[in-house]
C-alpha cells in the first residue's frame, strides 16, 4: 500500500469515497483536481474549492488488455476520462462489458481497491 504517503491525495480519495467530492477552480475558471497549490494554466494561487457534481460524462475510454504488474489481476479493465462539470477525472469503470462503453455515457464516481494490490483507485459506475 502506497496511499499512506500521499496526504493531500488521500484526503481527496476520502472525500470521493464519502460522496463529498470536490475540485479546485482558479479565478480564470480552470478546473483542477487536487492536490494543487497553483493553476498550471495561468499561475493563479487563489484556488476555490468547488463541489464535484454527482454525475459525470465519459469523454474517452480504453480497455486495457496488457497492464502494468500493479493491475495484473484486474485486466482486462476499462479506464476512462470523465467530465464532472468543469473538472475531468481518470478512473476505472467498474462492472461493465467493454463493448457497452460509449463516449457521453453518464457515470458516478467513488473509490474502490485494485484487485492486484489492494491500493485505492478512482472508480466510475454507470449512472442508472
Q: Write out the residues near another protein by the rule CB under 8 A.
A: 6, 9, 32-33, 35, 40-41, 59-72, 74, 77, 79, 81, 88-92, 98, 103, 114, 119, 121-122
Nearer to another protein, 50 or 64 (CB): 64
Q: Shortest approach of another protein to residue 51 CB, angstroms?
A: 18
Nearer to another protein, 52 or 92 (CB): 92
Angle 6-10-13 from CA coordinates, rounded to 5°: 145
What does the DSSP 8-state code read for residue 27?
Answer: T
What is the distance between the alpha carbons of residues 50 and 26, in angstroms, rounded to a whole number?
10
**In the bound complex, what is the minimum distance in angstroms from residue 123's beta carbon to another protein?**
9
Shortest CB 111 distance to another protein, Å: 11
Provide the 3-class DSSP secondary structure of residue 106: strand
- The answer to whether the beta carbons of residues 122 and 13 sit under 8 Å apart is yes
Amino acid at each position: 500500500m502506497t496511499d499512506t504517503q500521499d496526504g493531500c491525495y488521500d484526503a481527496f480519495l476520502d472525500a470521493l469515497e464519502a460522496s463529498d467530492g470536490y475540485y479546485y477552480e482558479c479565478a480564470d475558471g480552470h478546473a483542477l483536481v487536487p492536490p494543487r497549490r497553483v493553476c498550471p494554466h495561468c499561475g493563479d494561487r487563489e484556488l476555490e474549492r468547488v463541489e464535484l457534481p454527482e454525475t459525470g460524462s465519459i469523454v474517452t475510454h480504453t480497455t486495457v488488455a496488457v497492464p502494468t504488474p500493479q493491475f495484473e489481476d484486474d485486466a482486462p479493465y476499462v479506464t476512462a476520462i470523465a467530465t464532472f462539470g468543469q473538472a475531468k477525472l481518470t478512473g476505472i469503470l467498474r462492472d461493465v462489458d467493454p463493448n457497452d462503453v460509449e463516449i457521453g455515457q453518464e457515470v458516478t464516481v467513488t473509490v474502490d481497491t485494485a484487485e492486484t494490490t489492494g491500493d485505492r483507485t478512482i472508480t466510475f459506475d454507470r449512472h442508472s
